């Protein structure tokens, strides 16, 4: 079997392995070839577009899983530091996204002058979230540029959700 098969062709052959009369060994080789293929940018772009249409709650659940899995979160910052917003009740919010692509989508309007900031999970859990907790700052998770619904939780709740998700890997 050629190593130059496209991902689509590999998937077709696996799906139709019985019809094609492939042996177990041939199917195993196809599976190994499929695992070598990296997800295309197009597949991730579709995921990005689909997630931007989800509810704030769905984006929150997705974010907790992705941040725990990737061990990194993304936020925005400017020359004065990491972005924080305040509402009319003086509640502060720290904004976080699971992938930089989502944060980039929000860098418009008043946030156009900000830059991406990568936050390693250890820093998030051991420094940022404890500081936010002591300040009473909420975590605004996965703001979408076209949807005003966003899930905001206490720093403690966000930390506990991430720690719980990480415990599922063990």
Domain check: are 30 and 108 in the same one?
Answer: no
At residue 45, does pLDDT exceed 80?
no
Give me the percent of the chain exceeding a pLDDT of 70.
92
Q: Are 99 and 62 in contact (CB under 8 A)?
A: no
Residue 115 resides in a domain: yes
Domain check: are 21 and 71 in the same one?
Answer: no
Q: Are 97 and 73 in contact (CB under 8 A)?
A: yes
Residue 44 resides in a domain: no
Instruction: List CB contacts of 66: < 8 A, sequence separation 6 or more.
Output: 98, 99
Domain check: are 29 and 65 in the same one?
Answer: no
Domain check: are 24 and 93 in the same one?
Answer: no
Domain check: are 23 and 101 in the same one?
Answer: no
pLDDT band at residue 2 under the 50/70/90 scheme: very low
At residue 105, does pLDDT exceed 50?
yes
Domain check: are 67 and 106 in the same one?
Answer: yes
Give the pLDDT confidence score for residue 81 in this predicted structure: 85
Domain check: are 32 and 59 in the same one?
Answer: no
Residue 43 resides in a domain: no
pLDDT band at residue 46 under the 50/70/90 scheme: confident
Paired with 159 in beta bridges are none
| Total number of domains constituting the chain | 2
Residue 71 resides in a domain: yes
Domain check: are 27 and 111 in the same one?
Answer: no
Domain check: are 143 and 91 in the same one?
Answer: yes
Residue 2 resides in a domain: no
Report the candidate in 170, 167, 165, 169 with the shortest Cα–Cα distance to residue 73: 165
pLDDT band at residue 110 under the 50/70/90 scheme: confident
Which domain CATH number covers 92? 3.40.1350.90
Domain check: are 26 and 94 in the same one?
Answer: no
User: Which residue pairs from 63-68 have beta carbons closer than 8 angstroms and sit at least 24 positions apart in sequence?
Assistant: 63/96, 63/97, 63/98, 63/141, 63/142, 64/141, 64/158, 64/161, 64/162, 64/165, 65/165, 66/98, 66/99, 67/96, 67/98, 67/121, 67/124, 67/162, 68/121, 68/162, 68/165, 68/166, 68/169
At residue 132, does pLDDT exceed 90?
yes
Range of the domain at 27: 7-36
Domain check: are 119 and 62 in the same one?
Answer: yes
Domain check: are 24 and 105 in the same one?
Answer: no
């Amino acid at each position: 079997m050629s190593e130059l098969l496209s991902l689509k062709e590999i998937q077709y052959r696996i799906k139709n392995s019985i019809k094609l009369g492939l042996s177990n060994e041939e199917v195993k080789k196809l599976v190994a070839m499929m695992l070598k293929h990296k997800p295309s940018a197009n597949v991730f772009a579709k995921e990005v577009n689909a997630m931007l249409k989800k509810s704030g709650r769905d984006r929150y659940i997705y974010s907790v899983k992705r941040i725990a899995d990737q061990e990194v979160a993304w936020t925005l910052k400017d020359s004065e530091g990491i972005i924080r917003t305040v509402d009319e009740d003086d509640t502060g919010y720290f904004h976080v996204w699971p992938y930089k692509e989502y944060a980039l989508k929000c860098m418009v309007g008043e946030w156009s002058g900000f830059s991406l900031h990568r936050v390693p999970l250890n820093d998030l859990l051991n420094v940022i979230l404890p500081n936010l907790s002591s300040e009473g700052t909420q975590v605004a998770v996965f703001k979408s540029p076209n949807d005003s619904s966003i899930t905001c939780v206490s720093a403690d709740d966000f930390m506990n959700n991430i720690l719980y998700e990480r415990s599922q890997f063990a």
